[in-house]
Structures are given as C-alpha cells and as structure tokens.
Amino acid sequence: MTQPILLFPGQGAQLPGMGRDLADADAEAMDLWKQAERCSGLPLREIYWEGDEAAMSDTRALQPALTVVGLNLWRAVSGRVRPCGAAGHSLGEYNALAAADVLSPQSVLEITALRGRLMAEADPQGLGGMAAILKLEQPQVEALVEETLADAAGPLRIANYNTPTQFVISGAKEAVALACRKAKEHKGRGLELKVSGAFHSPLLAEANRELGAQLRKAVWRKPRFPVYSNVTGKAVRDGESARETMLEQMTSAVLWMDAVRSQYADGARRWLELGPKALLGKMVAPCFSSLADPATLRIDLVCDGESAAALEN
C-alpha cells in the first residue's frame, strides 16, 4: 500500500471488548494481554471484555490496555504495510515508538503500566481536570487562558493543540470550569473531560520525575522510520532524541497539529489509524484548512481483526 503515517490514539479511545477478537484468534496477541496484566497487576481482560465503563476509564488499567490493543493491531497489519512514519497522541506515542522498534513491546508495557499508576496517584484528591475548547482559534484560546489566570482560579495551560479549532486545557478544576464558562461567552464551547487529573501540565511534575527513572533504564534504538514527537511536533530520528523528548512528554503540551503538518511537509498523504475507534484520523484534514483539495488526503482505520484483514492496498 502507499506508505502511510501510522496513528495511535491515547486515552478516550477505549471501547468494551476492545482487542478481544485478535487475542482469541492469535496466541501471541493473547500473550501480550497477559504480559500487560503482569506489568500492571490488574485483570485487564476482565475489565475490558466484561467490565463496566467506570472500570474501563481508570487510567491505571486504561494505559496498559490501550497499549496492548495498539501493539496487536500493528502486529496484524505490519506484514502488509510499509510506513513512512508514526505518531501517537499522548499515551499513543509509546505505541508509535514500539512500531518503529525504538522500544520493545515489553518495555512499553512496563512503562505505560507505571505511567498509568503514577498519573492516577498524582492527584488523589481530584483537584485537577481537563476540558476540550472548541470553535475558538489558538489566539482566542491563549487569551482565554490568560483571562482565567488573571482571575486567580488556579494553574491552567493549553495541554493539546489538536486542530485549528480544537484544543484541550489542563489545570486546577476550578480554573478549567471557569475557562469553560468564559469560552461560551466568547461563542466557543467548553467540554469538561472525564479524566483523573491535569495531564500534560506541570501539576504532574513529580510523577514525571518518577517515570523518568524507568525511561532511562529502557533500551532506546534508532527508529526504523521517523516518529513525530508530541513535545516538538517534529520527526525524531535517533533513540537518544526519542528518550529526551519522552522525558518531557507527561508535563508538556501535545503539539498534534504541528506534528501532522510536519508529516505533510515530509510528503505524507496517507494516514493509517490503529485503535479501537476513529479519533485521530478526523483531526488530519482540519489541520490543512488552506488545502485546495482535502480529498488528496487518505485516512484509513484498522480497529479489529476484520478491518485488518480487509485493509486495501
């Protein structure tokens, strides 16, 4: 097939039963679920194949479980796909690194299990939150954050730059709620997210330091193809640079829009999303509002064994 950019989603992509069909059909895929359960100490298959929505949203379980799904989807298509690059949104960046052979599957399972636990423990009182800010452009969102900070509602920052009119803010819950109200006043929309903390903000500094020790112990190899960093929005082409950017990732903003534009500048015209449902593919074309013909961009989704088998060349 035409060389695509692989896309791996992060938290929010989970679905009941995700990954089960591949695991039932492939012993190696099932083994990865078992490895993730050993790393996390949690019954992930029971949670995602039989559990309820609340259990599935727990970041301690969600991070290693989504990582397994991404690993297995890549295994399912890797024999027929020759990527020109990869990118993952937040947690999904670890899947991108695994696909490019920067980190081993075992390493990303260990790291994401620890990452989930640390992020869950970083805010035991639930003081932090996040919200999507829609229908406003970047200068307006930046002004909105500054206006909220001026009201001394607590720390707040832009955490995700997804598209020209889709951003995510992160910080103290009171500040997030106030910013959502202000967004409505400015003819935008604020939607508070069901998350367990202020991800991609300095409020996770201590958790990031603890995760850093695990990242430094891992073996980082040269990518087989470029991995586009959340932290810089640019391609990472060696293992040391990959490690250094990931040491900052948990507390840095996700520059997704910059990363997609870098991919296009490097020649990408096709993207292949590997996740339980379509999320990231929808954020590609909006990054190119000046593009004369968005139809020149092709987005495919592989979400299960059936769609992997049906993947067109």
Could you give the residue numbers annotated as active site? Answer: 90, 200
Q: How many CB atoms lie within 10 A of CB 103?
A: 26
Read off the tokens for 38. Answer: 């050993």
d(CA 75, CA 58): 26
Q: Specify whether the backbone of 12 is left (phi greater than 0), alpha (psi in -120 to 50) or beta.
A: left
CA dihedral for 97, 98, 104, 109, sign (positive or negative) = positive
Strands 156-163 and 166-172: antiparallel
Q: Please state, in angstroms and rounded to a whole number, the distance separating the CA atoms of residues 55 and 286.
A: 33
CA dist., res. 185 & res. 199, Å (int): 25
Question: What phi and psi values does residue 60 have, to the nearest 5 degrees?
Answer: -65, -35
Helix segments in the chain, DSSP class H: 20-25, 27-40, 44-50, 53-56, 59-77, 92-99, 105-121, 138-150, 173-185, 205-217, 239-249, 256-265, 305-309
3 state DSSP class of 199: coil
The 3-state DSSP class for residue 13 equals coil
The residue written with tokens 């679920």 in the block is 33
Residues sharing a CB contact under 8 Å with residue 302, sequence separation 6 or more, in sequence order = 73, 76, 77, 272, 273, 274, 308, 311
Coil, helix or strand for 5? strand
145 in helix, strand or coil?
A: helix
